[in-house]
Amino acid sequence: MTKLNSCFIYGLYCLLALSFFPIEHKDLQVLLISGALALLSFLAIGLNWRGKQEKLKLNIIIFLILTWFLNSSLPIVMNSVQPMAQYGLFQCCAWISAFFSLSASTHLEKNWQQFKKLIYFLGFIFSWWAIIQHYGYHYMATGPFASRTSNGAFLMLAAIILSSEFLSPQTGKNGEASIPKQRIFLYGVLFCLFNLALLLSFSRGVYLSYALSLTFLFICLSKRRTIISVLLLIALIGLSMIFLGFSAGEAIQHRLDLLAQEKSRLIIWKGAWHLWQNSPWYGLGLDNFKYYYPAFSLPGDGSTLENAHNDYLQLLIETGTVGISLLLSLILSFVYYSLAYLRKCSSSSLSKIALTTQIAALSSLALHAFVDFSFYILPFNILLGVLLGFVYWNLSNQGYIASYSLQVSARFKTLLNIPLAMLFLFLASAFLNLMHYTYHSEQANDYINQAQFPAAIKAYNKAKQYLGSPDVYNNLIALYLEQAKKATNEHAQLKLISRAEALIARTIALHPYNAEPYFQQGLIKGLYQNDAVKAEKSFARFIELKPQANFERLTICYFLLEQDQLLQAQNLLEQGLLYPIDPYYAPKYLEVLANLRLKQGDELGAEQIAAAVEHLDTYRFDFSALAKG
């Protein structure tokens, strides 16, 4: 049985490690890893349940986690949210699977040591990866992640865990050194490496979360005999900062210049808050934020429009007031039990060092979640579950989390397997649906790359049967319009246009905040049906739902110019200045607007734009200074 338990833990760590290394098909990776984690957690729960006596143990932590999952799943079962929430369930609930997978652990201390080694190994790779990217190739220090902030957040976690090695008792019971000096030296080098790569993230959120969590760890573990270790850690951090200052001055200045151009995250949060005010009480469904937010984003929002850059706010929108209340209750429960432990446990034992380190690492993720979206990045989601699991099982084993035991009969215990089986079938059904959807979508994309449009249409139609996402509808409509453009006779063209219009009507009914169908509808009305009035109406609705669209604004502008509506075309581009403009489209966008200003007799305004065009760079998105007051 012990060997089987170890296999579960090793399986969990392997899946965690695999989640850090992205593959070409990201959605497929998320599904496979999350699905494997869910299966692992079911097996771990089954093993744990089978090995116990006829007693059912409950506590507030388990109750809150299960209720949160139920609250997130029920809207999907009842078809109250968009179907893409099925994917969000796997994307955002991996932490629950990781948490319950740790229930198979019979040697927490040993498993914690293994976890630390994994984090150190990954941290070593990612820190060198980031350093080589920055100093060798002059790229952003992103490591294996899509952003340098994510790489910095992971190295923050690794550095916090590593710092606990310096705060362990330096001598054992018999006076011998508990940690060899050579290892302490290696830990010091590794700590400097982590800190340098962490600092290369140039992320204020990472810096602040790291400083607060490390301070918490120092306060909790600093004793008279460890004060030298604390000072050594502070000195190593200072050394890393000095090296960064001398070696990356240009990058620091560049980051400061970008910060001067960036708008406050308050713009994103205000838009997200407005979205919440227009959302149902039960939420929009996990990971569905990105399908609604563009319509509520405010001028100056230069984000990707997929996340709120505040996990708590985004989860409020996606899981509703009930979901966020359960999550906050879970956080407060952990805070309460952790503080109770820290108050009563005054010894400097290895168990206290381990648990305090786990709490500090968990706190760093919780703090960083206020300004980022790490909950929606699979590796961090799994890390969250693992750290929660370690904290929970350690506190529970030491008697700080009160559990209530209920004597149950063997028959009742068997009956409890029914809801577990139903949950397994629900997840298995959703998993298979998403796998089919992902397979056919990727197949369609391959056909498009090979210019095999009829085959791509068939593949997308198959994908639509499993999950009617806005992306599938948008791509299908685009393919029909592409085929209509190449049609050899009028009858074939009309048939394709008719199919596109039917899909447009369908997707507008299913996804009212999906902007693309309105743009496609405007193209049909303007190009094929010569109905300029309806085309303008559709284009106006598109701009209302997606005001950040640069290419589409230009396209609509050209349409208005063909209708001799110069003033409307100019107003359209003037309004677009308030939103970020992609550097790829900026030259043409500004050139057209400058010409329109000249035609309206605004020579000064045209000259301002001409001056801006001469100083364009790949990092400038904000042209709101050129907008008319």
* DSSP 8-class letter at 564: T
Whether 157 shows a pLDDT value over 50: the answer reads yes
Note the pLDDT of residue 463: 96
Report pLDDT digits (tens) over 75-125: 999 999 999 999 999 999 999 999 999 876 778 899 999 999 999 999 999
Note the pLDDT of residue 51: 53
Whether 54 shows a pLDDT value over 70: the answer reads no
Q: Which residues pair with 404 in a beta bridge?
A: 58
Same structural domain for residues 505 and 397? no
Q: How confident is the model at residue 407 (pLDDT cuts 50, 70, 90)?
A: confident
302 compared with 137, residue with greater pLDDT: 137
Domain termination residue (choose one: 242, 262, 282)? 262
CB-CB neighbours of 150 under 10 Å: 25
- Does residue 68 sit within a domain? no
Using DSSP, state whether 57 is helix, strand or coil. Answer: strand
> Mean of the pLDDT values across residues 399-427?
81
Average pLDDT of the residues of the chain:
90
The enclosing domain of 531 has a CATH number of 1.25.40.10
Same structural domain for residues 151 and 239? yes
Q: How confident is the model at residue 378 (pLDDT cuts 50, 70, 90)?
A: very high
The 10 Å CB-count burial string (b at 16+, else e) for 514-545 is bbbbbbbbbbbbbebeeebeebbebbebbbeb
- Does residue 610 sit within a domain? yes
> Mean of the pLDDT values across residues 590-595?
94
* DSSP 8-class letter at 295: G
Query: pLDDT exceeding 90 applies to what percent of the chain?
Result: 72
Amino acid at 439: Y
Report pLDDT digits (tens) over 29-48: 999 999 999 999 988 887 77
On whether the CB atoms of residues 166 and 236 are closer than 8 A, the answer is no
> Mean of the pLDDT values across residues 156-168?
93
Note the pLDDT of residue 201: 94
Note the pLDDT of residue 8: 87
Tell me how many domains the chain contains: 4
Structure tokens at 183: 């290892």
Amino acid at 369: A
- Does residue 579 sit within a domain? yes
> Mean of the pLDDT values across residues 224-239?
88
Same structural domain for residues 327 and 245? no
Report pLDDT digits (tens) over 183-192: 889 999 999 9
- Does residue 348 sit within a domain? no
On whether the CB atoms of residues 380 and 151 are closer than 8 A, the answer is no
- Does residue 213 sit within a domain? yes
- Does residue 72 sit within a domain? no
Same structural domain for residues 304 and 257? no
Structure tokens at 177: 């050194």
CB-CB neighbours of 235 under 10 Å: 11
In sign, the C-alpha dihedral spanning 453, 455, 458, 459 is negative
Comparing 44-58, 269-283, 607-621, which segment has the lowest mean pLDDT? Answer: 44-58
Same structural domain for residues 312 and 386? no
Q: How confident is the model at residue 175 (pLDDT cuts 50, 70, 90)?
A: very low
Nearest alpha-carbon partner for 526 in 563, 574, 485, 575: 563
Note the pLDDT of residue 225: 67
Whether 55 shows a pLDDT value over 80: the answer reads no
Note the pLDDT of residue 65: 96
Whether 342 shows a pLDDT value over 50: the answer reads yes
Amino acid at 422: M
> Mean of the pLDDT values across residues 553-578?
94
Within 51-147, residue ranges assigned H as helices are 60-77, 85-92, 94-101, 108-131, 137
CB-CB neighbours of 130 under 10 Å: 28
Q: How far apart are CA 124 and CA 117, in angstroms?
A: 10
Same structural domain for residues 87 and 121? no
Structure tokens at 610: 């001409």
H or E element, residue 406: strand 404-407
- Does residue 65 sit within a domain? no
- Which residues, 6 or more positions from 78, have their beta carbon under 8 angstroms from its beta carbon? none
Same structural domain for residues 268 and 306? yes
527 compared with 159, residue with greater pLDDT: 159
Q: How confident is the model at residue 406 (pLDDT cuts 50, 70, 90)?
A: confident
Q: How confident is the model at residue 346 (pLDDT cuts 50, 70, 90)?
A: low
Same structural domain for residues 461 and 587? yes
- Does residue 594 sit within a domain? yes
Same structural domain for residues 134 and 236? yes
Range of the domain at 91: 1-59+83-106+380-415
Same structural domain for residues 125 and 100? no
Q: How far apart are CA 313 and CA 307, in angstroms?
A: 10
Same structural domain for residues 561 and 618? yes
Comparing 45-54, 201-210, 269-278, 612-621, which segment has the lowest mean pLDDT? Answer: 45-54
Same structural domain for residues 497 and 589? yes
